[in-house]
């Protein structure tokens, strides 16, 4: 007969954790929140210190009753919902309900938290229990009260004034405003024509182009050449002056370092999964929840990633050691920096006790466990593993070069770069919301040239462009 009862949210998590704790522990699921505000006016009373009126969630009443019955034969109750304010509130509500039912008499009650579902993390949490944090509970209640006050007040107004069935909310209404403001920008946007002029050049059997940056000793601004007639006039004049050749006026070389991105937080994971995998934010969190709660990889269920609701980019010391060992073994010592990279969370309100989202074991290579995962689980785990590994690798080193070419009255420039040492890019590169924001010209490899070289010009031609309105938000950019 088990002596200790452990409560978590989901049955999948319960199964994994019970395996780690042994026969003295029985693990049950609350199936999420067990109480919520009464669904009518007055659930939150601003006139009486924002008093909140709760009721048992009907679909979970049977689970609460099962917990109460199981507790009768146990000496202690460990409340182990998720390690965030929602989990803390679930623990508090369960405690309050059981207290009302007089089910806690002579029982030891403790709150336990773990940020990854591994044997070591779970057993360590049981050894280091704490009291329920009322600060976290109050934070969750404030969030829930605001949701209620905003939604319950504004939604009926929308039904009367706009259309039945519409809803307003603490988060959705500001998001809607952002979308509407962007749409208004797009609608009032007036496109402007402009032209750029390029010289097609050849050297060392390599063709490349250079863009006109100065004309008659004046630096060209975006709208200086704004119609085809002006573009043709300049092209004809420069072609005549060049007479088929230009001279290398300057070659500027620089070495540039590119740093790896920080490990994932909830928001950056959702953004990157949207950009690279096409996942919605909701789907990303559903799959991440599965990876966190445990996947059976042949030796019983094991949590593959740390807790996926976090705004922290920090990594535990044991994780840093694990990652550095994995990088050295898999990619070589040269790709391991002298010291572990320490990332600092920008948000002042970040929960530093939490870690970034990372694999629970760096040695659990995605390809090695692919057969145990669904296609979506594999894609997301692979993304998290690569991002975390890359975050602890050396910088990428690139050589950038800018070459200026001159003809009478004109100065052209070509930009290019070469990767000297890929560093972390061996494993992972961060995606972009707007591909145009990356300078495509900087990725060109240019031929070896030196100041004074004479280069043949194949042609000088103009290219028409139109300014574009700001893009509509994607799920990632919003």
- pLDDT at position 299 is 72
Contacts 24+ apart (CB under 8 A), 339-348: 340/392, 341/260, 341/391, 341/392, 342/314, 343/262, 343/263, 343/313, 343/314, 343/315, 343/391, 344/313, 344/314, 345/265, 345/311, 345/312, 345/313, 345/314, 347/311
Answer yes or no: is pLDDT of 60 > 50. yes
Q: Which percentage of the chain shows pLDDT scores above 90?
A: 83
Among 47-61, 349-363, 436-450, the range scoring the smallest mean pLDDT is 436-450
421 by Cβ neighbours in 10 Å (0-12 / 13-18 / 19+) ranks as middle
Averaged pLDDT for residues 181-192:
97
Report whether pLDDT(438) > 50.
no
Cα distances from 223 to residues 195, 232, 320, in angstroms, run 8, 15, 51
Confidence grade of residue 297 (pLDDT, cut at 50, 70, 90) = confident
Task: Provide the whole-model pTM.
Answer: 0.84
Q: Measured in whole angstroms, how far is the alpha carbon of residue 227 from the centre of its chain?
A: 43
Say if residue 449's pLDDT is above 80. yes
Q: Is the pLDDT of residue 196 over 80?
A: yes
Average pLDDT over residues 36-45: 91
The count of other CB atoms within 10 Å of the CB of residue 338 is 5
Q: To which CATH superfamily is domain 193-259+396-466 assigned?
A: Topoisomerase I, domain 3 (2.70.20.10)
**For residue range 111-168, what is the model confidence (pLDDT) as tens digits?**
999 999 999 999 999 999 999 999 999 999 999 999 999 988 898 889 998 999 888 9
Average pLDDT over residues 211-232: 96
266-391 belongs to which homologous superfamily? Topoisomerase I, domain 4 (1.10.290.10)
Amino acid 353: pLDDT: 59
pLDDT value of residue 296: 84
* Active-site residue set: 307
pLDDT at site 418: 84
Residue 180 has pLDDT above 80, yes or no: yes
Give the model's pLDDT for residue 25.
Answer: 95
Instruction: Classify strands 193-203 and 454-466 as parallel, antiparallel or unpaired.
Output: antiparallel
Cα torsion angle, 260, 266, 270, 276, sign:
positive
Residue 225: its pLDDT value, please? 97
Mean pLDDT, range 236-240, rounded to an integer: 96
- The answer on pLDDT for 410 being more than 80 is yes
The whole-number pLDDT of residue 433 equals 56
Per-residue model confidence as pLDDT tens digits over 83-93: 999 999 999 99
- Range 288-293 average pLDDT: 94
Res 347: pLDDT: 65
Task: Please state, in angstroms and rounded to a whole number, the distance separating the CA atoms of residues 152 and 166.
Answer: 12
Q: Which of 199-213, 259-273, 279-293, 336-350 has the lowest mean pLDDT?
A: 336-350
pLDDT band of 432, cuts 50, 70, 90 = low
407: Cα within 13 Å, side-chain hemisphere = 29
Q: What is the pLDDT of residue 255?
A: 94
Residue 187 φ/ψ region, left for φ over 0, alpha for ψ in the -120 to 50 degree band, beta for the rest = alpha
| pLDDT > 50? residue 352 | no
| Residue predicted with more confidence, 1 or 467 | 467
Does the structure show a pLDDT above 50 at 437?
no
Q: So where are the chain's domains? A: 4-141, 193-259+396-466, 266-391
- For the cut 60, the answer to whether the pLDDT of residue 442 exceeds it is no
Q: Give the residue, 301 or 171, on which the prediction is more confident.
A: 171
CATH number of 4-141: 3.40.50.140
- Label residue 377 by pLDDT band (50, 70, 90): very high
Question: What percentage of the chain exceeds 70 in pLDDT?
Answer: 96
Confidence of residue 336 (pLDDT cuts 50, 70, 90): very high
- Mean pLDDT, residues 69-75 taken together: 94
Task: Please report the pLDDT score of residue 351 as a whole number.
Answer: 52
Spatial distance between the Cα atoms of 126 and 116, rounded to a whole number of angstroms: 13
Q: Which of the pair, 345 or 293, is modelled with greater confidence?
A: 293
List, in sequence order, every beta strand (DSSP E) within 216-300. 218-219, 245-258, 295-296
Mean pLDDT, residues 36-55? 92
Whole-number pLDDT of residue 478: 86
Cβ of 301: how many Cβ atoms within 10 Å? 19
Flag whether pLDDT at 441 surpasses 60. no
């Amino acid at each position: 007969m088990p002596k200790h009862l452990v409560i978590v949210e989901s049955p999948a998590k319960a199964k994994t954790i019970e395996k780690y704790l042994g026969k003295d522990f029985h693990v049950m699921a609350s199936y999420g929140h067990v109480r919520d505000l009464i669904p009518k006016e007055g659930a939150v009373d601003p006139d009486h210190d924002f008093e909140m009126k709760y009721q048992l969630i009907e679909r979970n009443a049977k689970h609460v009753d099962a917990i109460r019955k199981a507790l009768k034969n146990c000496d202690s109750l460990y409340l182990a919902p998720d390690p965030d304010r929602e989990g803390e509130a679930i623990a508090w509500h369960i405690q309050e309900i059981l207290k009302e039912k007089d089910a806690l008499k002579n029982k030891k009650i403790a709150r336990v938290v773990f940020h990854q579902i591994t044997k070591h993390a779970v057993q360590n949490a049981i050894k280091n229990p704490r009291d329920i944090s009322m600060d976290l509970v109050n934070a969750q209640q404030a969030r829930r009260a605001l949701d209620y006050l905003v939604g319950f007040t504004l939604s009926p107004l929308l039904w009367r004034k706009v259309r039945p069935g519409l809803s307003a909310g603490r988060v959705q209404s500001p998001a809607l405003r952002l979308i509407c403001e962007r749409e208004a920008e797009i609608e009032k946007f007036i496109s402007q024509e402009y032209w750029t002029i390029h010289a097609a050049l050849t050297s060392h059997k390599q063709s490349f182009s250079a863009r006109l940056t100065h004309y008659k000793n004046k630096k060209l601004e975006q709208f200086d050449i704004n119609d085809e007639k002006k573009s043709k006039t300049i092209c004809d004049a420069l072609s005549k002056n060049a007479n088929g050749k230009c001279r290398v006026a300057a070659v500027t070389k620089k070495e540039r370092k590119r740093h790896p991105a920080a490990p994932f937080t909830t928001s950056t994971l959702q953004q990157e999964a949207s950009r690279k995998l096409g996942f919605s934010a909701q789907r990303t969190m559903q799959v991440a929840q599965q990876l966190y709660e445990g996947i059976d990889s042949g030796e019983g269920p094991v949590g593959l990633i740390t807790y996926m609701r976090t705004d922290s980019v920090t990594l535990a010391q044991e994780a840093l050691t694990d990652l550095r060992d994995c990088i050295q073994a898999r990619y070589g010592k040269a790709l391991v920096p002298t010291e572990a990279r320490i990332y600092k969370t920008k948000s002042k309100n970040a929960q530093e006790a939490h870690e970034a989202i990372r694999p629970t074991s760096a040695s659990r290579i995605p390809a090695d466990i692919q057969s145990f995962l669904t296609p979506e689980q594999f894609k997301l785990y692979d993304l998290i593993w690569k991002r975390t590994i890359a975050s602890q690798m050396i910088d990428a080193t690139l050589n950038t070069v800018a070459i200026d070419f001159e003809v009478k009255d004109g100065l052209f420039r070509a930009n290019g770069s070469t990767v000297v040492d890929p560093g972390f890019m061996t494993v992972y590169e961060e995606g972009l919301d707007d591909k145009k924001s990356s300078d495509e010209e900087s990725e060109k490899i240019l031929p070896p040239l030196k100041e004074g070289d004479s280069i043949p010009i194949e042609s000088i031609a103009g290219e028409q462009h139109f300014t574009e309105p700001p893009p509509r938000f994607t799920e990632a950019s919003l």
